[in-house]
Amino acid sequence: MAVFQYQAGIGNVGSYQVSGKPFAKAAINASTATKIEFPSVTRWVMVKNNTASVLKVGFSAAGVAGTNYFTLTSGSVTSPLELKITELHLLGASSVDVMAGLTFIANSGVDNPGLSPGGAGAVSPNVNWTGSVGVG
């Protein structure tokens, strides 16, 4: 007999209507490409650049290595970015703070070939986003 166990997934609206579990990481050295992995899918994310350098922020290693990223200038901070992500990629600053509100959705809710743009045949299959087609 099959047993069905309900889990909230990436499209579960209620997971994004409630407050997120707190996540904070300070003084991250992103002078070289750095990946921040979240323990579950995010509801929102904020990034602060504490240095005089320009910081690249993307959603994959290919994004920050290429052209699919956004930048934060010296001392700037993003407003809360409402994003469903499992990792964040940073490059170019020696002191970065990251805050996020987490959902109770497991990372497998995004990191799977059916939902992630990487798909099964990609260079980095089944992970977050590929860094292609504007998804940095």
Residue 129's pLDDT is 58
Structure pTM? 0.79
**13 backbone φψ class: left, alpha, beta (φ>0; ψ -120 to 50):** alpha
Residue 127's pLDDT is 52
* Local confidence band at 133 (pLDDT 50, 70, 90 cut-offs): low
- Work out the mean pLDDT of the chain and round it to a whole number: 82
Residue 134 has pLDDT above 80, yes or no: no
> What is the CATH number assigned to the segment(s) 17-106?
2.60.120.770
pLDDT digits (tens, 9 = 90+) for 46-99: 999 999 999 999 988 888 998 889 999 999 999 999 998 889 999 999 999 999
- Lowest model confidence (mean pLDDT) among 14-28, 65-79, 91-105, 118-132: 118-132
> Hey, which bits of the chain come out as E strands?
21-30, 34-37, 42-49, 55-58, 70-72, 87-91, 93-102
